[in-house]
Structure formats: structure tokens, C-alpha cells
Structure 1
Amino acid sequence: MYLAFTFAQSKFILNNMKTKLTLSLFSLLFTLLFSTTSWSQEKGTIKGQITVNDNQSPENITVILKGTRLGTTTDEKGNYKIKNVKAGNYTLKISAIGYNGKELKISIAEGQELIQNANISSNSEELNEVLINSGKKNHLARKENVQISRLPLKNLENPQVYTTISSELLKEQVVTNIDDALKNAPGIQPLWTSTGRGSDGAGYFSLRGFSVQPRALNGLPGLSNGSLDPANIDRIEVIKGPSGTLFGNSIVSYGGLINITTKTPYDRFGGEVNYTTGSYGLNRVTADINTPLNEEKTINFRINTAYHNENSFQDAGFRKAFFVAPSLSYKASDRLSFLINTEILNNEATNATMLFLARSFPLRVNNIDELGYNNKRSYTSNQLSIKTPSFNLQGQMFYKINDSWKSQTAISRTSAKSEGYYSYLFDNTDQLVTGTTTRRFPGIDNGLVFDRLLNYQNSTTLATDIQQNFIGDFKIGNLRNRIVVGVDYFNRQIVDNGTGYVQNGSVYIGNDDLQTVNEVVFKVTNPAQYIRTGDNGKLSKNATDALLVGATVNNSKQKQEIYSAYVSDVINVLPNLSAMASLRVDRYMNAKNGGYNQTTLSPKFGIVYQPILDEISLFANYMNGFTNVAPGEDINGAVRTPRVFDPEHADQLEFGTKLNLFEEKLYATFSYYKIKVTDRVYSIRNSATDVTNFQDGAQINEGFEAEFIANPIQGLNIVAGYSYVDSNVTKGDINTIGYRPTTAGAYNSANLWASYRFQNSALKGFGLGFGGNYSGENKVVNGRVTGAFTIPEYTVLNSSIFYGNDKFTLTLKLDNIANVDTYDGWSTVHPRNMRAVAASFGYRF
């Protein structure tokens, strides 16, 4: 059974969105009117004082009556008052970000003034471990994070949609790479696996139909040219929609951004060591150790480290990495504290197999079956690897100015290097000659011939970010304001001293007789020696170096600088009604192509109404993103005319609902969005000497997303999601108008993971996990001239069995149970992992 709605069901949902929006708005207005008239009939009052145990201000703690619209926040002394309460029995819920919440059962009579005081304690960072036999909470749901809005907003208060992937979930699934971690987020689809190339070698993913890379670390830039290691991940936030207002355009796309929140030190000794082994020579060792460095426990140190060694399921390929991430926290006083995070990754790997399909002439094959590709063939060599070391250093200072204002100062320094051999296979079976298609290889009737293009990468990307935020939480009259005012400086330099590309043989992929193919294509003296592979490349290191001797060497340096200022304010009109208004201004400067400067404004608005406080919210948002476009040239024969372009813009309208029900046992989000991109730059090439640039392109992406995180019974935890994305080029090159962009991924995708920990005494400590991913058909090439190349839909199922206690955990995981062939692509075809078994043993101390 597929893990997704059908395409027809998805279209039905979208076609009825306007009607539902009208009904939702009518219901909202009716509820507001009703609540206004009903308050006058309520009689009682509940008041009291909330205190905290960490010498912090007790101001702006949320106090609500569960299941009602009644609630308030505390003043600077922790005092609160809830008026007009009908007689009855209630649950008083007290909560604040950074504190353990509390719920109190109370009863109030008509006209009574009930005094109820309470104390709450800080939930300072501890190891985010969940004992295998606990099963007492929805431990896969961790929604609250200040980095998402740069404000202390709960999920239900935030008009923006985001998904949080917790470290607990990653451990249950024995995740050893970032690609597998992101399978747990609705709407995320892999486009392009990590290549190791300079400046953009990390993996690409489709998010709401736009390409995005994981470039944010703790809300700041964090670069990588290779595959990221998950050993230091506390949680991953996939923040949906164009988020230029708070994050600029250096780490986001129009679909959103991927932010990785790292583990931080805590105030006791503890840790865990883990060993994982499995298929394809997997050997992985990780360690997480934390300790206070002084008796007062104001200085704490934590280090996470990992060694990873793994081969490919193909005939060649490997990845070897060493990762270390020390972090240090220092609480200088009740007002001042510091946090330093460092990540160092040394990574070496072979290129993943990447088949680049035709972009300028009609495709000769249109799907995997017609291509006849054997996905066990890598067409690479373990002698041809690329090293992608990266380094990230972040320092943050937090200062409490007064009870209403805090200061956050952050400095980030990051570098990513690529050094080694990068290759790919490019479809060159046919070529265009004077406007007609001519067969380059007349002996080929089926399949394709790919040229292997290769260069030696020697590139370094350096980035510096300096950020200053002032965060306020105060009242003006009865209106609570939560505001962030910030400035940001971002500097990125890319130095490229690699070589140009050379051809290293050709590869035939298809079903023709290889004897004939080698005679016709490769022109070899003894074609029989190539019958097995259909490959006449020279894949040894010495032979490849000889080919590169005559290659050109790059000598380029690019520099970008961005100066930004932004402000975002959330105003509580009522305890259950809030509005957000935000604005960012960017000054962008690029030293490439003679230099050019641009200034861009990016607004954001949102509204949230909670019919039941802290349980149900209705939200709507308008968000904006932008891209600074590099200058280009119009070519008319020998005449070249420079062109400077305005920034592109993306505007999103979205509405939906968020739920937190049944004593936090069910979290759910449902949303519909529409993103319109304008001012897109595109080129019309009539010939090699006639190219004209335009900036009036447009694209529309719209879709529906649903997410569930549930703990229906003790011991059972479920994470599930579904996404539908429709995408269409509405204006631009005639070859793309009306076609689905290749960044959009599949129309339908879904994810599921369910785990159960036995609660009875006989099996206590044992557990089972089961889930998987579904992806519909995906047109990785799609256009008027080329036609379409479609990779097939797939459903991949995974399972696990585990046993553990408060000291150790043993997990056995089976991925891709049915050994299904799966692919991803973005004008490319890349085979993904086949069936694999992994065993993991962890010991906590």
C-alpha cells in the first residue's frame, strides 16, 4: 500500500482550497465575535504569582486555562490575572520556552477570586537521550527553537511552517548521513547527491519545488562541499517557504532552508559511545562526552566525534571521514554567558555516479527501462577520489540588558575545500548540426553513449558572518510585543585554482551488442577487451594525471559582501490572537565581473488565531525571498553588451492549522501554499554568436503539506508526513513555458516512521520500528526540445528491532527491505542505495 494520497486526491484538495479558506475566515470572524460577546457573561477571576528557580525574570510566562481561549502572561514580578472565568473545573497550564511546564487542576465558583501560585524550573541543556524503556512521552516531538524566528515563539504562535527532526529519531533509525536524516521531513526530496565540487559540492534537495542545500548551522552560515556528518546534530529544522526576511539569501532558497542545531554542553558528567557496522563494509564509531570544567559548573565542555568508513553497493566507490566537534559554554554571571561551537570534518570519497542527460537535443530514451542502465556499475575507480575538508567555528555571547531586553552577538567563520578528481558522464550520443539532428554514433540503436568529463578540483570557499540581535519581550499597555532588531554582515570568498575539464574515454549504457558498440564507438584495436564494460576510459590515477597535463588551470577569486538590517515584531492583540510584521534590507556587493551593488527589501507578515490556547491555531502568512543575479552579456556577433539585472523575487501566500492535542500526544500541521517567482533571468540562444538575456521570467509553485507526530498509546511513537507540489513555468524561454521545472521533484511524496517499546515486564526493553518513504514519478529532464526523462515512482520500506536500558542500546536495522531500485535526479540520473543491514551498539555513562 502506498504511503501517499493519489494524484487525483491531491488535485481535489487543491481545487477546494479557496472554498475552505473562505469558510475558515468566516469561522474565524464568527468565533471572534462570539468570544467578545460571551466574555461579559463570565464571573470568576484567577490570579497569582509565578516564580522561577534560576534568578531570571518571571515576566512573560504564559498562563492559560486548557481547552479555552482564556489566558494571559505574567508581568515583571510574575503576577498574572485571568478574568471572566465561568464556574467549573479547569487545568491551569503554565509554560515558557526554556522552562519545564506545569499543569495544575483547579476549581472555581461563580464570582470567586481564586489565588493560585506556582514555581517552574529551568530545563537547561542536558543529554537529549530517551531511555529505550521509557515510552512515557512523545519524545520525537521537539518543536520549540528560538533560531527559527529569532524570537521565543512556540510552534502554535509562529505563522511559519517548519518540521523538526530530533536526534532521538535519528538514533532509532541508525542514521549515518544527512540524506537519510532528511527523509523524515515532509516535502523534502533528494535532487542531487553530494559531488564534492568546489563551492556547491554538498547535496541538493527539493523543498516546495525549489532546490536547497543544508547551509545553516545554528541559524548562521555553515558551509560544506561534501556529505555532512550527523554525529553532532541535536535536531534539524526544515523551515518552509521563502525566508529572506530573517535569513537573507546566502543560506536559503525560495522553498526554505535547512538549519542544523548542534549539541551544546550541560552541567554534569555524562556521555555515550557507539559502534555501528553493516553492509558494504560500514564501520562507524562515535563518542559524545560532556564534563564540567570547574566546581561551580559555570564552564562546561562537550565533544562529539565520529570515524566513518563505508564502501558503495556498486563495483567501486567509498567514503572515509573523521569528524570532531568540541564545544564550550561559560556562564560568567547571571546576565552574561558565552557559547563556542566548532566542527572539523575531514572527508574523502569517490564521486557518486551521475549521468547527465541531454539538454539541447531530443532525448533518445525517456525512462530507466529504455536506458538499460545496470545500477551496480559505478564507472569510476577508487583511485580517483576527492577530499572535502570543512571547518566551522561559531562564537556567541548572550547578555541580559534588563528584564525586557537581551542581546545576542554571534560570529561565524567557515571554510570548505575541494581537492581531488571530479568526474561525471555526459550524454553526447546525438548532436545538433545546422538545425537538424545527426546521429553521432550510427552503430547505436539502443541506449546512450556518455563522455566521461573530468577535472582536478582545487577550490576553497571562505565565509565570515557577524550578527548582532537585540531581542525584546515587553508590553505596551495590554499588548505584548516580542521583537528582534538585528544587523548582519556576511562575507564570502571563492578561490578556484582547479583545472579545466578533459575527456577520459566514453561509456556505453544500453542493450546493444557490446562487440558492435566497441567497434563503432570506441575504434579500438582489440574491441573484445571492452566487451564486459562498454567503457574505454583510463581510470587509474597515473593515466588520469597524464590526461590532465595539458588542461588549463583556473586562477579566479570571487568576493561577495552583504550588509543587512532587519526587524520582526509579534504583537499579541489578545492572548489568543497575534500578528507578525517583519522587514529586511540587504545591501549586496559582488567583486566579480567588474563589481556591482544592489539594495533589496524583503517583507514578511503573519497572523495566528488560537481558538483553544496552546492546542489549536489557525495561521496565515505572506513571505518574501530574493536572489541577487550576477551580471551577464548579450552577444550579437562580435558585439558583447554587458547586462546588469535586478534581484529576482519570490512571494508566498500560505494558510493552515497547527494542532497540539491530547496532552501533547498529537502534533499536526496542515498547510496550503502558493509561491510566485518574478523577474527571473533567462537567455534565448539563437546561435553561438547570438544570445539575448531577458528578466521577465515567472514561475508558480503551489502545494499542500501535512505532518503528524503522535504518541497515541504509551510506548508507541509515530512520525508521518505527506506533500503535494505543483510547479509550472508561466513566462520565460518558449522551451520551458508550461513545463514542470526539474527542481520540483515528484508531485507526491510521503514519509512514515513508527516505533513501539514494549511496556510489560516480560518484554520490557524490547522495541520494534517500521516505516519508509514514497516518491511519485519524477521528470528529471522536461522541455519542449528535449522531451521528458522520467525516473519511476518507488516505495522503500525499512524496519528495526532494538533492546536497551538506561545504560546500553542494541539496534538491528534493515533498510530497503524489498531491495527496490531507486533514483534521484536534476537533469541527471543517480542510483541510490540498495538493501542494507546495520547493527548498532551504544553505551551511556
Structure 2
Amino acid sequence: MKNLLPILTLFLILHSAIAQTNSVTGTVVDHNNTPIFGANVSIINTTKGTQTNENGVFEISNISDGNYTLSISFIGYRTKEVSFSISNQNHVHLETILLYEGNEILNEVLIEGERRNKFSRKKTAYVSKLPLKDIENTQVYSTITNEILKSQIVTNFDDALKNATGVEQLWTSTGRGGDGAGYYALRGFSVQPQLVNGLPGLTNGTINPANIERIEVLKGPSATLFGNAVSSYGGLINVVTKKPYVGTGGELSFTSGTYGLNQIVGDFNTALSEKDNLYFRLNTAYTTEQSFQDAGFRKSFFVAPSLSYKVNNRLSFSFYGEITQAEQTNPTFLFLNRSAPTASSNLEELGYNNKLSFTSNDLSLQNPTQNYRIEMDYKLSDTWQSQTLLSKSSTSTKGYYSYLFDFGVLEGDTYSRYINKQNANTQTTDIQQNFIGDFNIGSLRNRMVVGVDYFNETQTNNSTGYAFYGNVTPDGGSNGDNPFTADVETDAFPLSTSAVDAALASQGVANAKSKYHIYSLYASDVINFTETLSAMVGLRLDHFDNEGDLTNPDDDYNQTTLSPKFGVVYQPIKDQLSVFGNYQNGFTNVAPQLVGNPDEGPQTLQTFNPEQANQLEFGIKTNLFNNRLNATVSYYDIKVKDRVITDPSSPFNKIQGGEVVSKGFEIEINANPIDGLNIRAGYSNNDSETTKSDNTEILNRRPLEAGPKTLYNFWANYEFQDGSLEGFGLGFGFNGASERFAINYASTGEFILPSYTIANASVFYQASKYRIGLKLNNAFNKEYYKGWTTINPQMPRTLLANISYQF
């Protein structure tokens, strides 16, 4: 027995040592058999885990005997689980593990400090409804990342979009019912931001950047995958919101600046149940801001709860909500006369004092907005997944809205104020069911999405009519002479709610409700003929059912449209250089119109085909020097046809034949030449013209919605990486535009807004837990304007200070 005890002890020690040398190894690759570097590999229900090396290889050691399940995950790929057993052996080598590209729900935290080229994130599941890399996508799009917004201390959506190549504000948010969000020129056509996480998300006011993970600006007609309700012929704007992630953390930020700006932002993420993979994130912001003019303000409170629940490796749910309470004075643009020459043809002649708001803080609009989105993802197999989506939006406008218009009746540059009391609401519902596949047919790889989409929009309007409320001149003069009465009047029009309410007492109140539905079926397939040659083919069948005014059955109509899409990508250097071309389609439903000479008998109702826009585009994309240089260069040609115009031979007939051509080129560069230095630059040139129309006012002229012909933007940000200046950084940039037409009609002549270049700069210090920054916008205090038949003065020089703390 004395000898047995030491022998038994030695046996147990050796057995334990042998057991703890057990290990499991394997290799993780993507569909092209390319090793995935940095994939997370963990053993479920243990603390053991690792990451794959540059060859996609992993090894986990010191595993006790037993049955286990590995979880392998990587950003942008579907998580995969692999079971294995270890029993009386030292090592298990698994077969090559293939990860399939997945959707936008990310189950891991991406450590941005380790990522190159922070100003570029060119892999998204939204642009093509498939998880394609930018370099293999036939469509051009700009991505504005959260890193750019932080480096520029962006506090509003308009400033954020200045980083998108080829995008220019036409006019800022008015807050009015129906279309109160901002308008932007994109490839020669106006567009509003109406998409959130790939689904309709409306607002009558501005979008708060506190919850923005990135902004995606898709270029060209995009109706094939998104329909025409949320896109324009120039493209569309998609806001991607922040989502829950695995872990606990957050950020508190405070920004203060010129003209009464104060903004506090909170971001908090936590696990409601780590065991159940249930995570919650809350983003919130409170903002107050005054105007550089003599009156005007904006304030908003924003809260965005989001939830992700991974039931198992096959089924997951997510919920996103955005609730905003906002109030603002609407900007009172000077609306130029659209049918007669104005007294002045430029700003110098106009004598505009842009410090005047022509309103008061007593007259404001409230814009409550709600957007909700529910998503269910179910993994049908390794090659197919189901995605079920529901989104609901509600946006309202309540309060006083006014505009200034030059009717050309009174002498000189005199603008008449018209005002009403808004009470309007727009609600949307969107339901989508997508089936997303990644499979082979023979030797051909197919990445396919097949989906059905139902969209409904209901508008309710209980606003008052518009009442005349005095005249103003651009230099600050005023009078009460109504241009549409014979008498010369000298009434006073005080800018107070009581006085305005008295003027509106005689106005009627609308009681209008309208509704339309869109039923769609779409499919898109990316076919890889080889690893470097692929084609994208897509088609949408769209049925538009318009109920119009619910009390008037005579305005009902419906239309059915086919929208095709095609593109080719060839990569001379795989994953680094691609040459692409595309054909993209957009359309607009056209309501029936009365035709026929009323002197010869009753007019008849004539129906029309939907208006069509077709784009041809080609260019190159790069991802060179291990993701240090991303660039896109493209040339596009968009032709809009089948616009309904008056028959040149009869003013009582309508024919389809109007055409608009918009063509140009764009260059966008995102570079990270050395560690700590990130550069973003863009240049675009657009040539738009109405080439066919019976309306001689606009024929052979640049459409006003096209904005400036030339746009450019630049931003460079450098953070010292070591030494005594480690953590300190500098930023510098500029953005500008060529001159633009505010008015461009045959009878009115031209009113041109001048070109501009605006410089901005920043300085900051970044520590592990906090960041302090200063930002100077419009550093040289340039006076400049934007507009779309309007004159809209822009912000002068402003200074912003920000402090943020991460935990």
C-alpha cells in the first residue's frame, strides 16, 4: 500500500496532463476558399476561444475530454456551429469550415481602432439586399461613416451629407406637412432621405445624427430593388442606425457652439440576458439651437431603443425604434417669381440682408416623428435564409408655416407673406419577405434575393387655407398692401400667434385624406462565371393602386410596371481592382388626365404609361494596398422619357414624349496612406438638360432641381500615433460648388446663385476613454446661398466644442 499511493498519484497527474493537452484545430474560409483572418472561434458554454490567423487557421488547447460545439463568427458572415468530441485522444482536426456571407445583424463588436481606412465601409447588406463587397457591386454608392461624423463634430444631417460625392442641398427642412424634410440634388434630380435600414422611414423635419452608424447614398435609378416611393432618378439616401452588440458599454457626449447650440448625446448598450443572447441599446439626444438671423430656433428630443435576440444559431429577432419630438421655426425662403421676370437678376441687385428671418420665435412648427422596424431572420440552410421585415412610420406637422413669394404685381423686389396653420400627418406601413441564397448551379456561384413587398402610405390634412399676411422687401422694408386687391392698404401684420390666428379665422380648414398601396415582387441574382467575372440581373414587378382622396372615387387609378436592372463586374486584380458597367431603371406612376376640347363636347379621361428613367454607367473601383486606397471613378448617362406633355398641335391633348437627359462623372477617394491619416475626397460634374418638351419655358435648359454643375469635397484627419503628441490630432477640409440657377425660364430669364468654397478645420485629443475636440466651420466666414427657385442663406462662421466619454 505504501508503494501504491505514489504510483496512483503519479498516474492521476499523468492522466490529467494528457487530458489537458487535448486540442482542436481547423481552417476557416469564405466561399472563394479564401482564408478569413480574425474570425472568432469559441467553445460554447466555456471560456475557451481564439481567433484565426492570416491563413484562417485556429487552435484551441487544454480541452478536457467530452462533447463540444464550436461557434465560428465574423463580421458580415453568418455564424456557424460545428460539433466535435474528444475522448482519449490528444488532438482533433476539423475539416475546412466554410462561412457564408450574412445579413446586417452583427453579433460581434468591430474594434474600429484596428481597422484601416476608417472613412470607408464598403460592405453592406442594404445596397443590393445582398452582402456584397463594394468592389463586386455594379452600383455606385457613397458611404458616410460614423468615424467621419465624429472627426467633424457633426450635429446635423445637412452637414453629414456634405461628405457624399455629388450631393448638394437644394433647400433645408421646412417642417411642413407631406414633404417637410430636406431636398438634395443627386445626379441631376431632387431626392429626400426616406429610407432607414433599407426600409421606408419618414420625417418632416431633420434627421438626428445621434443614432447614425453610417449614411449610404445610392447613385442612379434604383427602383428595381427599392421601388419608386422612396427613391428618385438620381438615387436614394439610406440611413443605417446603430444596433445592439455583444457586450456592455456606451458613450456620453456634449457639444456646444455658436448661435446657442447645445447638444447632449447618450449611447448605452447592455446584455439583458447573456445566456439568452438578448442585448439592448439606447441612443438619445437633446438639442437646442438658435439662428444666426434675428429670429429662429430649433429644439429636439430624440430616443432610439433597439433590441436583438438570438434565439439559436438559426433564428434571430431585432427591433429598432426612433422617436423624435421636435419644434422649429420654418425657414422663410425668398421664393422667386416662376412666371415673370424679377426686378433683380442676382444677389447684388437684390440687396438681400440675410440676417433677417422675416418671422418670429412665436410662430413655430412641431414635428413629432416615429419610425419602428421589426426583423426576423431564419437560417433555412447553409445556403438559404429567410428575412421577414415590418416597418411603420408616422410623422406629423402642427403649427404655423409661412412663405415669401414675389408675385411680380407690386413694384420692385416685393415679397408677399402667406401663412397657414398646419395640421397634417403621414403614415406608412411596409412589409417585406426576402429569401436570400448563396449556392452553386454547376460551377456557377449564385447570390440571390427573391422578395415580396407591400407598401402603404396614408396622408391626412386638416390644415387651414393660406392667408395674406403683409409684404417685405429683401432689405427689411415692409407694407400691408395686398397685391390682389385694388385698394392700397396700410394694415399692420404683427408676427404673433394671436394676430396670425385672427387672420386665419376666415380661412377654411381642409378635411382631406388620401391613400395609396404598392404591391411588388422582385428578384436579383449575382452570378459568378469565374472568381473575377460576375453579372447582376434584377427585375421588379410593381403594381400601384391609388385610392387618392377617399371621398372622391373619380381620382382612383392603378398601374403596373416592370423595372429591370443589369450589371457586369470584372476584377483584373481580385478584390483590389474592378471594372464595372450597369443598366439601371427608375419609374414614376402618372395619373390619368382629361383630354379633348371642352368646346366640342365633354372631355375624356386618358391613361398613360409610367414615366421611365434609364441609366447606363461604367467605371472602375479599387481596394488597393491592403485596404489603404478605396476609389471609385464612374461616368453615367440617365435619360428620362415618357414624360406627359401638352400636345404641340392641341392645348387640350396630352401626349407622352417629354425627355430629360442627365449625364456626368464622379470621383470618390478614401485613403489611409499611413497609420493615423485618413483622407476623403470627392468631385462630380453633371450636365442636365430638358431635351424635349412642349413647354418652351424649360426646353433646352438645365432643370432647377439639378443643382450646381460641379461639386467637390475634401476632408483629412490625422492623429499622432506615438511620442509626446500621441492622441493629439488635426483635421482640415473644404467643400464647394459652382454657380447654380435659382430661376432659369425663358420668360423670367436667369437668377444665378454664385459659386462658393467653404473651409473647415478641427483639433482634438483622443485618449482611451475620452475625446476633446474643437471644430471651426466656414472658417473664412464666407457668405453663400443655396436654393431651388428660392434663396436660402447658409450658416456663417461657427465654432463647436465637444467632449465625449466612452465606457
Q: Which residue of 1 aligns with 2:644?
A: 681
Q: TM-score, structure 2 length as denominator?
A: 0.86
Q: CA offset at residue 353 of structure 1?
A: 2.5
Sort the Cα spacing of 1:522 and 1:729 in 2 relative to 1 into closer, same or farther, 3 A.
closer
Distance in structure 1 (CA, Å) of the matches to 2:703 and 2:268: 46
Q: CA offset at residue 538 of structure 1?
A: 2.4
Query: Of 696, 700, 720, which aligns to 1:738?
Result: 700
Sort the Cα spacing of 1:570 and 1:295 in 2 relative to 1 into closer, same or farther, 3 A.
closer
Distance in structure 1 (CA, Å) of the matches to 2:78 and 2:386: 23
Structure 2 counterpart SS, 1:180: helix
Distance in structure 2 (CA, Å) of the matches to 1:374 and 1:582: 52
Sort the Cα spacing of 1:269 and 1:96 in 2 relative to 1 into closer, same or farther, 3 A.
closer
Structure 2 counterpart SS, 1:361: coil
Structure 2 counterpart SS, 1:743: helix
Is 1:362 matched with 2:362?
no
Is 1:547 matched with 2:493?
no
Is 1:170 matched with 2:149?
yes
Distance in structure 2 (CA, Å) of the matches to 1:172 and 1:713: 17
Listed one character per residue, the Cα deviations across residues 635-664 of structure 1 (whole Å, up to 9, x for unaligned) are 856865434332100000000000000111
Sort the Cα spacing of 1:184 and 1:550 in 2 relative to 1 into closer, same or farther, 3 A.
same
Structure 2 counterpart SS, 1:148: coil
Q: Which residue of 1 aligns with 2:538?
A: 582
Distance in structure 2 (CA, Å) of the matches to 1:240 and 1:520: 45
Q: Which amino acid aligns with 1:476?
A: I
Q: Which amino acid aligns with 1:452?
A: R
Give the root-mean-square deviation of aligned CA atoms.
Answer: 2.9
Listed one character per residue, the Cα deviations across residues 755-774 of structure 1 (whole Å, up to 9, x for unaligned) are 11012321011000000111
Q: Which residue of 2 aligns with 1:44?
A: none
Distance in structure 2 (CA, Å) of the matches to 1:568 and 1:317: 47
Distance in structure 1 (CA, Å) of the matches to 2:720 and 2:129: 39
Conservation of the 8 A alpha-carbon contact between 1:505 and 1:538: no
Q: CA offset at residue 520 of structure 1?
A: 12
Q: Which amino acid aligns with 1:462?
A: Q
Distance in structure 1 (CA, Å) of the matches to 2:676 and 2:706: 37
Structure with higher RCO (Cα < 8 A, 6+ apart): 1
Conservation of the 8 A alpha-carbon contact between 2:149 and 2:160: yes
Identity of aligned residues (%): 52
Distance in structure 2 (CA, Å) of the matches to 1:299 and 1:791: 53
Sort the Cα spacing of 1:426 and 1:684 in 2 relative to 1 into closer, same or farther, 3 A.
farther
Distance in structure 1 (CA, Å) of the matches to 2:265 and 2:596: 55
Conservation of the 8 A alpha-carbon contact between 1:506 and 1:537: no
Q: Which amino acid aligns with 2:424?
A: S
The structure with the larger Rg is: 2
Q: CA offset at residue 366 of structure 1?
A: 1.4
Q: CA offset at residue 804 of structure 1?
A: 1.7
Query: Of 598, 604, 611, which aligns to 2:572?
Result: 611
Q: Which residue of 1 aligns with 2:312?
A: 333
Q: Which residue of 1 aligns with 2:494?
A: 538
Sort the Cα spacing of 1:637 and 1:707 in 2 relative to 1 into closer, same or farther, 3 A.
same
| Higher mean displacement: 767-776 or 536-545 | 536-545
Q: CA offset at residue 243 of structure 1?
A: 0.4
Sort the Cα spacing of 1:342 and 1:518 in 2 relative to 1 into closer, same or farther, 3 A.
closer
Distance in structure 1 (CA, Å) of the matches to 2:121 and 2:56: 18
Query: Of 702, 705, 720, which aligns to 1:758?
Result: 720
Map residues 213-612 of structure 1 onto 2, 5 A cutoff. Answer: 213-296=192-275, 298-430=277-409, 440-441=410-411, 444=412, 448-510=413-475, 537-592=493-548, 593-612=554-573
- Please, which runs of 5 or more residues in structure 2 have no aligned partner? 1-24, 38-53, 58-72, 80-93, 549-553
Distance in structure 2 (CA, Å) of the matches to 1:631 and 1:824: 35
Conservation of the 8 A alpha-carbon contact between 2:470 and 2:482: no
Distance in structure 2 (CA, Å) of the matches to 1:604 and 1:325: 35
Structure 2 counterpart SS, 1:829: strand
Listed one character per residue, the Cα deviations across residues 379-407 of structure 1 (whole Å, up to 9, x for unaligned) are 01100000111100100000000011000
Q: Which amino acid aligns with 2:34?
A: V
Conservation of the 8 A alpha-carbon contact between 2:595 and 2:605: yes
| Higher mean displacement: 583-592 or 628-637 | 628-637
Distance in structure 2 (CA, Å) of the matches to 1:287 and 1:684: 58
Listed one character per residue, the Cα deviations across residues 678-708 of structure 1 (whole Å, up to 9, x for unaligned) are 0112458999xx7654431100000000000
Is 1:783 matched with 2:762?
no
Is 1:714 matched with 2:693?
no
Query: Of 653, 656, 659, which aligns to 2:616?
Result: 653
Q: CA offset at residue 92 of structure 1?
A: 6.8
Conservation of the 8 A alpha-carbon contact between 2:193 and 2:236: yes
Distance in structure 1 (CA, Å) of the matches to 2:645 and 2:357: 34
Distance in structure 1 (CA, Å) of the matches to 2:652 and 2:494: 37
Q: CA offset at residue 629 of structure 1?
A: 1.9
Q: Which residue of 2 aligns with 1:71?
A: none
Sort the Cα spacing of 1:119 and 1:684 in 2 relative to 1 into closer, same or farther, 3 A.
closer
Query: Of 57, 60, 67, which aligns to 2:31?
Result: 60
Distance in structure 2 (CA, Å) of the matches to 1:684 and 1:183: 41
Distance in structure 2 (CA, Å) of the matches to 1:826 and 1:526: 32
Listed one character per residue, the Cα deviations across residues 330-362 of structure 1 (whole Å, up to 9, x for unaligned) are 001110000100000111000112111111112
Sort the Cα spacing of 1:273 and 1:126 in 2 relative to 1 into closer, same or farther, 3 A.
farther
Sort the Cα spacing of 1:548 and 1:683 in 2 relative to 1 into closer, same or farther, 3 A.
farther
Q: CA offset at residue 226 of structure 1?
A: 0.5
Q: Which residue of 2 aligns with 1:12?
A: none
Conservation of the 8 A alpha-carbon contact between 2:438 and 2:448: yes
Query: Of 189, 197, 202, which aligns to 1:210?
Result: 189
Q: CA offset at residue 785 of structure 1?
A: 1.1
Distance in structure 2 (CA, Å) of the matches to 1:757 and 1:808: 14
Conservation of the 8 A alpha-carbon contact between 1:797 and 1:818: yes
Structure 1 counterpart SS, 2:641: strand
Q: Which amino acid aligns with 1:460?
A: N
Sort the Cα spacing of 1:641 and 1:362 in 2 relative to 1 into closer, same or farther, 3 A.
farther
Q: Which amino acid aligns with 1:762?
A: S
Distance in structure 2 (CA, Å) of the matches to 1:388 and 1:318: 13
Q: Which residue of 2 aligns with 1:14?
A: none
Q: Which residue of 2 aligns with 1:145?
A: 124
Conservation of the 8 A alpha-carbon contact between 1:579 and 1:608: yes
Conservation of the 8 A alpha-carbon contact between 1:97 and 1:144: no
| Higher mean displacement: 637-646 or 763-772 | 637-646
Distance in structure 2 (CA, Å) of the matches to 1:314 and 1:476: 64
Is 1:98 matched with 2:54?
no
| Higher mean displacement: 194-203 or 633-642 | 633-642
Distance in structure 2 (CA, Å) of the matches to 1:610 and 1:683: 48
Map residues 39-58 of structure 1 onto 2, 5 A cutoff. Answer: 51-52=27-28
Q: CA offset at residue 245 of structure 1?
A: 0.3
Q: Which residue of 2 aligns with 1:644?
A: 607
Structure 2 counterpart SS, 1:313: coil
Conservation of the 8 A alpha-carbon contact between 2:282 and 2:304: yes
Distance in structure 2 (CA, Å) of the matches to 1:508 and 1:429: 12
Distance in structure 1 (CA, Å) of the matches to 2:312 and 2:779: 54
Q: TM-score, structure 1 length as denominator?
A: 0.82
Q: CA offset at residue 116 of structure 1?
A: 12
Distance in structure 1 (CA, Å) of the matches to 2:97 and 2:367: 53
Sort the Cα spacing of 1:650 and 1:465 in 2 relative to 1 into closer, same or farther, 3 A.
same
Distance in structure 2 (CA, Å) of the matches to 1:789 and 1:608: 43
Conservation of the 8 A alpha-carbon contact between 2:468 and 2:482: no
Is 1:832 matched with 2:788?
no
Q: Which amino acid aligns with 2:673?
A: P
Distance in structure 1 (CA, Å) of the matches to 2:460 and 2:741: 35
Sort the Cα spacing of 1:751 and 1:703 in 2 relative to 1 into closer, same or farther, 3 A.
same
Q: CA offset at residue 817 of structure 1?
A: 0.5
Sort the Cα spacing of 1:519 and 1:196 in 2 relative to 1 into closer, same or farther, 3 A.
closer
Structure 1 counterpart SS, 2:264: strand
Conservation of the 8 A alpha-carbon contact between 2:27 and 2:56: no
